[in-house]
């Protein structure tokens, strides 16, 4: 299976999990907040990797910077500034409540995505043959 297909499959699974979290666990802040934020960062990472075989470290840094900027924009009530405070889709994408714990969740998601990518998906092939 091609690596991009693996990335696409993982990103699709992540978005399905995110939708299920929103639909089934909206009243459970730990799952909706922490687990959802971890998974969304993993989704963004793998979605980017479906486009091209980018350097993993650059993608994880880009993904985390994007997530952190989004969180900072929540601090400044960016959705309200844009007049989107009542738009459910905008609320879901941009968010509405600043929480510094989200940055920890984003970091965990970035680490998880990076480790899975570099240790499992891009696992270096054993180039030498052992003979006994």
pLDDT of the chain, 132 residues: tens digit per residue: 688 999 999 999 999 999 999 899 888 888 888 999 999 999 999 999 999 989 999 999 999 999 999 999 999 988 888 888 888 888 777 777 889 999 999 999 999 999 999 998 887 665 555 555
* Domain presence at residue 56: yes
Q: Is residue 129 part of a domain?
A: no
Number of domains in the chain: 1
Residue 86 lies in a domain: yes
Residue 48 in any domain: the answer is yes
State the Cα–Cα distance between residues 47 and 11, nearest whole angstrom: 5
Contact 6, 121 (CB under 8 A): yes
Containing domain of residue 65, as a range? 3-121
Do the domain assignments include residue 126? no
Q: What pLDDT, on the 0 to 100 scale, is given for residue 66?
A: 96
Half-sphere exposure in the Cβ direction for 82 (13 Å, CA): 15
Q: Look up the pTM and report it.
A: 0.86
- Scan for tokens 């999990």, then name that residue: 17
């Amino acid at each position: 299976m091609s690596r991009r297909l693996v990335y696409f499959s993982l990103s699709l699974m992540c978005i399905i999990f995110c939708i299920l979290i929103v639909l089934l666990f909206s009243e459970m802040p730990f799952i909706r907040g922490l687990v959802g934020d971890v998974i969304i960062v993993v989704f963004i990472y793998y979605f980017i990797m479906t486009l091209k075989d980018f350097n993993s470290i650059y993608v994880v840094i880009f993904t985390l910077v994007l997530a952190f900027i989004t969180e900072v924009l929540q601090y400044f009530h960016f959705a309200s500034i844009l007049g989107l405070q009542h738009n459910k889709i905008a609320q879901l994408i941009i968010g509405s409540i600043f929480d510094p714990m989200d940055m920890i969740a984003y970091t965990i998601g970035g680490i998880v995505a990076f480790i899975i990518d570099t240790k499992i998906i891009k696992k270096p092939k054993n180039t030498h043959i052992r003979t006994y």
